[in-house]
Structure 1
């Protein structure tokens, strides 16, 4: 996928070093959580176990966001099947130096457009912590509406739950 400033490519194990850096960045750890990825090998295993099966089964999933100007990997965006949610969930994360530059809206808009138009997904959700105001702002800007608070299996923190319906169906 492509936007004005970005390329979005499906994640592969070749992205393990980048995923390691992203998933251990301060905001990821604070707002999304520690995925216990302590080295590049663990990152590659995480990609193989968590992302590749969904990409193969559904045709979409997690995408690495690459800035066109310099081919720099800056973040990730995707639509995921999550335990405890009936509706697939859009998520996004960025390396700290690339936050707040509009890349999240640009990338997430393209992913929503693609899953709605090409894969005929009926509804997408988003979840975020109550303290992650930046994420909440982006979720609302994407057109998702707050529905309720949710507690995912194995979690202790209640999250805000948002949804958007496919208007093209």
Structure 2
């Protein structure tokens, strides 16, 4: 994913250091903290470090990773969608998060579908997985709309939370 991709309404680009302010905002939203967890990002420097240490190495190693989703209409950064090589998950894990004011407008599906298609067509990904809290019904709805099916309840390494695992084998 060395370039920027587009859908009808969105621009999809790999995260970079310039996105630190947006990432700091996103990871501290109530829904992120509840459904994904506290990443201890409380300053611009923390956000830059997170991007530099967590996001950029995966992008450099795999060619894909966390993407910032931008509205074409006004260039607003509205969320993230990414493909991740996550420990304890078989296949590439798709994850997403959006600012609350942009939820329910189809942006998450539009961008996640495009990112999934890029992974499959450009990177030869054969299995897409997703994990979510059992009570995160909006994520479950999107995961199932993307074609993934519930497989089992799992725990990922270094975490004591039960998560629903969904998979799509291609």
TM-score range, shorter chain: over 0.9
Which 5+ residue runs of structure 2 have no aligned equivalent?
Answer: none
Residue 131 of structure 1 corresponds to 135
Is it true that 1:35 corresponds to 2:39 in the alignment?
yes
1:41-81 deviation line (CA, Å, top 9, x unaligned): 11110001111111111111110000000000000000001
> Distance in 2 between the 1:83 and 1:37 partners?
22
> Distance in 2 between the 1:153 and 1:116 partners?
26
Is it true that 1:19 corresponds to 2:23 in the alignment?
yes
Is it true that 1:53 corresponds to 2:57 in the alignment?
yes
Which 5+ residue runs of structure 1 have no aligned equivalent?
Answer: none
State the aligned residue count: 166
Aligned CA RMSD, in angstroms, stands at: 0.7
Alpha-carbon offset, residue 153 of structure 1: 1.3
Q: After TM superposition, which residue ranges in structure 1, 4 or more long, deviate above 3 angstroms?
A: none
**TM-score normalised to the size of structure 1?**
0.96
